[in-house]
Amino acid sequence: MKIIKRSGIEDIFDIQKIEAAIRKANDSVIDYEKLSEDKIKNILVNVERACENMKRSPGVEEIQDMVENQIMSQRAFAVARNYITYRYKRELIRKSNSTDEQILSLLECNNEEVKQENSNKNPTVNSVQRDYMAGEVSKDITRRFLLPPDIVEAHEKGMIHFHDADYFAQHMHNCCLVNLEDMLQNGTVISETMIDRPKSFSTACNIATQAIAQIASSQYGGQSISLSHLAPFVQVSREKFRRQVRVELEAAGLEPSEEKISKIAELRVREEINRGVQMIQYQVITLMTTNGQAPFITVFMYLNEVPEGQLREDLASVIEEMLHQRILGVKNEQGVYITPAFPKLIYVLEEDNIREGTKYWYLTRLAAECTAKRMVPDYISEKIMKQLKQGNCYTCMGCRSFLTVYKNGNDQFQFYGRFNQGVVTLNLVDVACTSEGDEEKFWEIMDERLALCYRALMARHERLKGTPSDVAPILWQNGALARLKKGETIDRLLYNGYSTISLGYAGLCECTRYMKGVSHTEPEGTKFALAVMRYLNDACAKWKAKHQIDFSLYGTPLESTTYKFAKCLQKRFGVIAGVTDKNYITNSYHVHVTEQINAFDKLKFEAQFQELSPGGAISYVEVPNMQGNLDAVLAVMQYIYDNIMYAELNTKSDYCMECGYSGEIAIVNDRDSKLVWECPNCGNRDQNKMSVARRTCGYIGTQFWNQGRTQEIKERVLHL
């Protein structure tokens, strides 16, 4: 059995260390207050059994809590008092320099918690370590100086989660929709170098990837670009090729007929589109931003975003090439094609591509093939989104965060060039457990926790106020988000809907089960769960009216936080069947991963919650290998179009470098009851010698996960 030390290092569980600590406390009291030998052995047996029953590596603090409880259960209060005093003194010593151990263990690559914090960061790489080191310092400053103590305490106890505290010390925002159209059409500046309007499609793609890297280094969340902003440069290349072909034909003494010119030029346009799309795919994957990872970039593919005619045909050609190249995948170190995490792709389902016989049905079939093999694209229903977003259809930022609908000073809807200020998530399961099932008390506690979230969100907002545009010129001065002057603050972009700020929520499923004794898929549970969602939306509306800031309800995509919340709940409330008995809690409003439900019922059920999650939400269905059953994939896609705004299919695409197995790498228990990944063909368990891709929170993760998320992945049932 393993434990997680305070520094994050994973170590062997040693019961003798616990025994030594108990005996020290025991020796410090007078004889008649001492524990007997039998009682000490009893305590050790009970602690060891409790640790084994956790089915994960317990933390040192959790073990010490168990020891305290066991000593008190033996009514040895003097011993318990001395044990607690010793523990408190040691805590004061540690707090005098709280970041040293974390950073040192991180540098030696043996910080187990950091290694599994982000499934797209490799913690052995210097740039990632540098970012984590800075993050530890930033979190320490944030805890001690920048946030009120009650918010810090609520965060540490898992009542709320103050996201991205490792970036809070800096004046940085969360995620954005890049105004690539402005940057390309009107020029931009990258690293103090003027970039003019590109003269070809491939140049436009190159500029886009350079901008993506700069933007990723200036914020801490995901970003999205639209292929519709690149498509006009296909015509620029076409016109250039037509001029070149005419000159070449004349130089060769051939008649430069329009038919010949068009035929040859279109062949070159095709090659140009191939080069440009390949540049986006490979540069995004190989770019390393200052935080040691590839940019969290989403590429939006929406035909109806441009007018009918040549421009739409060019956009269709770019989308087609993007899908072809993603189906192929990228080569790993062994030269085997695997599934990359980025760029994430979103494909919009529309009237002219959703049914066989429609004009762009061929693209939808290609998208289905891509999903079956590479897990992307995800799907937005134009029809449903327009119903929910005042007739608009637009992309999300990163994994699932949607901007609110906004009209600019020209009374035109605007989405690109806008951003999210940050996220604070409410743990709904904690609210329920604290209420002890009393519904009146539940709403009282909900108000208290919402007040806490409100103050935490306002702290995020206040941290951004007064930020000069000079901190990130590419964002604020050179078109990605705005064209502000040097020295001008970003303040006016924080109000009146230009940007959003997100109240996240998690664990609606477990919250409902605790309060009502049934799943939120049952009628009584659904009624309660919807009431919770409406209550959260009402809070956002109240805050928005007060400050003219667009507070929006966001279905939090818990990654490592799912494990943190679960551990905190177990510590505060013990193990409650169906509520806190897992090492994870459920993302946002989702149906529990273990609940048997078919794909279509799941999407239909979750659609009503997605509507009440305007700041961001995504639903998914878990499916087996679908490469031989594209008709089923298409059927799900058509159902998405008719029933839900935003959804995805979770397929499997793994590879074992030891034996060449391609399929699904399994999750098994090792002898320490730790969950590990194992090739079903050769038994390989070395994570460095396998490629595993799984969706965890909207985007694909490829660097493995903590024990809580790994358990959640293992327990997912198939919906199709």
Active site residues: 174-175, 397, 399, 401, 420, 554, 559, 698
Scanning 375-490, the segments in alpha helix (DSSP H) are 382-388, 428-435, 439-464, 473-476
Query: CB burial class (10 A; 0-12, 13-18, 19+) of residue 111?
Result: buried
The pair phi, psi for residue 468, each rounded to 5°, is -75, 150
Per DSSP, 694 falls in state E
The pair phi, psi for residue 345, each rounded to 5°, is -115, 140
Encode 47-105 in three state secondary structure. Answer: HHHHHHHCCCCCEHHHHHHHHHHHHHHCCCHHHHHHHHHHHHHHHHHHHCCCCHHHHHH
Provide the total of helices (H) and of strands (E) in the chain, helices listed first: 24, 24
The Cα–Cα gap between 161 and 506 comes to 10
Q: Which two tokens stand for residue 603?
A: 């999407």
Helix, strand, coil percentages for the chain (3-state, nearest 5): 50, 15, 35
Instruction: Count CA within 13 A, CB hemisphere, residue 150.
Output: 8
| DSSP 8-state assignment for residue 591 | P
Nearest to 605, CA basis, from 595, 443, 614, 716: 595
Whether cis (ω within 30° of 0) applies to the bond prior to 343 is yes
Element (H, E) at 367: helix 361-374
Cα–chain-centroid distance for residue 408? Answer: 29
Which secondary-structure segment (H or E) carries 45?
helix 37-53
| Rounded Cα–Cα distance for residues 588 and 509 (Å) | 8
The two three-digit tokens of residue 270, written as one number: 């095709």
For 513, residues 6+ apart whose C-beta sits below 8 A from its C-beta are 519, 520, 525, 578, 579
Task: Give strand pairing partners of 426.
Answer: 160, 505
Closest of 578, 575, 556, 555 to residue 567, by C-alpha: 575
Peptide bond into 557 cis (omega under 30): no
Residue 550 to residue 210: CA distance in whole angstroms: 30
The C-alpha atoms of residue 406 and residue 164 are separated, in whole angstroms, by 26
* SS3 at position 34: coil
Q: State the DSSP H helix or E strand holding residue 602, giving kind and residue range, or none if neither.
A: helix 599-611
Orientation angle between helical segments 561-573 and 60-73, nearest 10 degrees: 10
Cis preceding linkage at 473, omega within 30: no
How would you classify the pairing of strands 418-427 and 175-177? antiparallel
The token duo for 565 is 């919340």
Distance between CA 703 and CA 636 in Å, rounded? Answer: 29
500-516 per-residue burial string, b: 16 or more CB within 10 A, e: under 16: bbbbbbbbbbbbbbbbb
Using the Cα atoms of residue 664, residue 669, residue 671 and residue 677 in order, give the sign of their dihedral: positive
Triad 490, 538, 589: Cα angle to 5° = 95
Cα–Cα distance measured from residue 576 to residue 570, given in angstroms and rounded to the nearest whole number: 8
CA distance 401 to 109: 32
Q: 3-state class of 223 per DSSP?
A: strand
